[in-house]
Each structure stands twice: as C-alpha cells, then as structure tokens.
Amino acid sequence: MKSKIKPTDNAAIHAKQLRRANRLNSIKNGLENSSIKEWPQIFAIMSETAVSIEMEISFYAFRNKINNPGEFTLNEVTRLAALFGVKYDVMADWLRDRIKAKSKSRIFRD
C-alpha cells in the first residue's frame, strides 16, 4: 500500500533541515569569532546525541573524547570542521585550547 505524501510532510522536513542549518551556522559563527569557549556552549545549540550521530561516532565514545579532547583523531577533527562549516585549522586550534585547559603538562603552558 502506497502512502500519499502530504504537503505538510515536505514542509515539516524543510523546517527540520532549516533548524539544523541554523544551529550549525550558529556554532560556526561562534567558533570563528571565538565566542564559543567550551563544549557546553556547543551543546546548548545542538545536543551531544545529535553531534555524535552526525559524526558517526557512538555516544559513549564521543562523550569520552569530549572529556579528553586529545583522543580525537585527525579524521574526526576534519569531520567536526566539515560538520560545523569551519576550516580545519579553526577546529584544531579550538580543540587544542580544550586540551590546554584540561592538561597540567608543561608542554601546554604558554
């Protein structure tokens, strides 16, 4: 049995895509102008679950990488940058700042 596509279905799908694009654009702007300093600011805009799904990483693995940002692979940093629409360098620098904030090592002291 074929189900008919209602005009409201397309409108709902379009609205969902628009909300996603707006969220990603907000994160992009925050990363580029350095107004986003911590993960909770990103997760206030887009949930951890949504980001982990978009990254194709299990929620548990993603949560561990958030708690220890040094565990992100280069490929994952590239995917994060692509997801948020920023250059790789912007994303890598942002993650490096998260690593510095969590690390007590002399390597990361300025």
pLDDT, tens digit, 9 for 90 and up, residues 13-63: 888 999 999 999 999 999 999 999 999 999 999 999 999 999 999 999 999
Alpha-carbon gap, residue 65 to 76, rounded angstroms: 10
What pLDDT, on a 0 to 100 scale, did the predictor assign at position 4?
A: 64
pTM of the model: 0.82
Sign for the pseudo-dihedral over CA of 77, 89, 16, 5? negative
Residue of higher predicted confidence among 106 and 102: 102
110 pLDDT above the threshold of 60: no
CB neighbour burial string for 47-57, b if at least 16 within 10 angstroms, e if fewer: eeeebbebbeb
Type of residue at 86: V
Percent of the chain with pLDDT over 90: 74
Alpha-carbon gap, residue 30 to 19, rounded angstroms: 17
